[in-house]
Structure 1
């Protein structure tokens, strides 16, 4: 597995060592973190029986950081569409989660969105758009951090609690499962995953 570190990862003095693009490829020998492994297990369990059309929002490279691809978790879906905010990744759609006019109402049977809304200044607009493009009875698989270091600093806005998640979904969704991930620190989980059905 290759991890690409960018100039944001290093102090300026260290950057002078690297190439013009300020990137360094580092081979990672260790497996994914406990939080990532736990998240992947939860997602595999809940994605396995999803049928119909799936949209992955914030797909990046679609890698699960444990040697797999998220696409493979959705074994029964008829289509799996990847998306990102920029064209630097090889995705099916380039979109802004706050406004997705290129997608019609009630298009997808499942929206999978992990590690995205904390980077969206108006995350409620993002959630509203996700709700619009999800069919009635459709499934939202949402992963959000709670105990995570600031990353992508200029675009790292939010952290979410269990109560905040329940509150923001209360009008449009029935929460089928809400799971805290990596509870190694009491009352301070690393992340939350939820499976919710659109009303």
Structure 2
């Protein structure tokens, strides 16, 4: 890992050669060599002059100087701690190499990995140009896994049960010799920045920017003069929860629809037959949040929304592409943005204005072999949305399903009812 350089007009940083630059050989692969370092690789020197400004600006300059000095001190402490931890680990590696004997002539490395409280999955390689490797043994405490087959002659992958704090070692067997060496894991890169409560609000806004922009469009549209707005799944789930009704103060009428009677619900009924409850071509805007996954027949709901909307009306829906089971037994579906573009696309009488997925999520399967072990490398998304405009009316029998209104109403009613208020 190469040292970073920090240089601005107000601070300078100097770095010392890293282990990668000074060590020619190491018991660890050339890609991830580790060697003891005697010097901390970062030394920040503060050079923060008090700017020559008019007297009335001196207080501002002093505050700026003090704030920058505080940030630099915090940065120094963090880098100092990181350097000490790295030097301590590399020192342990060096001591281990001395005790274990001669340096391993075979290079190896880990390209990527993921881990949780139960174990670690690794994908790596071993160089067989110096000697044919017959097997690897990965060890973490009392747990071990043997690897005797290499993909493309050099690549390996394995899941190893392990406590997160337990060091990992590899025993390489080649030409009737064996070497036991520590595994050094790569530092990244991460596919997205890790979440932090200290991160400014702008970070979260970037995650949800496209959906927020679409919903802001909906709010603006619904507040135009004479608009009739319908929210599906409108019930207030907690005594202190805010409702969307307050976002549409200029709407001529706001109608809250839900399967159960509750606060903020004006019409109780099955959303699959929304047009029968409100009337055809009666609304300018129909929207929902975290509702689509709970509807038994989302294609019937899409048709009902089309028939409820006036031509030129808008519809907005936010749901999940990935999410744990909830509100059972009525948790039926998950959607990609492409799926929503079919439900509310041209064939259904709509024009898609905006859609997308956001907030990456990574899943770990109970089975940790083959492709199941690689699942955490691929992103899912917790949220997905669509904004569409009605362009035409659907034909009478264009969308059909062999279910009666009574049976659909009965199934929809299994959605957990709100707890009684105390």
Q: TM-score, structure 2 length as denominator?
A: 0.36
Over 3 Å counting, the alpha-carbon distance change for 1:139 and 1:115 in structure 2 is same
Question: Is the counterpart of residue 130 in structure 1 residue 130 in structure 2?
Answer: no
Deviation string 1:83-112 (CA, Å, 9 cap, x unpaired) is: 110114441111101123222110000001
**TM-aligned CA deviation for residue 69 of structure 1:** 2.9
Number of the residue aligned with 2:325: 150
**TM-aligned CA deviation for residue 184 of structure 1:** 5.7
Question: Is the counterpart of residue 140 in structure 1 residue 315 in structure 2?
Answer: yes
CA contact (8 A) 1:62 1:71 kept: no
CA contact (8 A) 2:230 2:257 kept: yes
Q: How far apart, in 2, do the equivalents of 1:73 and 1:90 lie?
A: 13
Which protein is richer in helix relative to its size?
2
Q: Which has the higher contact order (CA 8 A, sep 6+)?
A: 1
Number of the residue aligned with 2:351: 174
Q: How far apart, in 2, do the equivalents of 1:110 and 1:177 lie?
A: 15
- Mapping for residues 24-35 of structure 1, pairs under 5 Å: none
> Where do 5+ consecutive residues of structure 1 fail to align?
1-29
Over 3 Å counting, the alpha-carbon distance change for 1:163 and 1:83 in structure 2 is same
SS in 1 for 2:329: helix
* Aligned counterpart in structure 2 of residue 197 of structure 1, from 379, 389, 412: 389
Q: TM-score, structure 1 length as denominator?
A: 0.72
Which protein is richer in strand relative to its size?
1
RMSD: 2.8
- Mapping for residues 19-168 of structure 1, pairs under 5 Å: 38=208, 41-42=212-213, 44-50=215-221, 51=224, 52-61=227-236, 68-100=242-274, 101-168=276-343
> Where do 5+ consecutive residues of structure 2 fail to align?
1-196, 198-203, 363-377, 392-422
**TM-aligned CA deviation for residue 178 of structure 1:** 0.7
Deviation string 1:115-156 (CA, Å, 9 cap, x unpaired) is: 112111111111111111011110001111112111012100
* Aligned counterpart in structure 2 of residue 183 of structure 1, from 353, 360, 384: 360
How many aligned residue pairs are there? 164
SS in 2 for 1:146: coil
Q: Which runs of 4+ in 1 moved over 3 A?
A: 37-44, 183-187
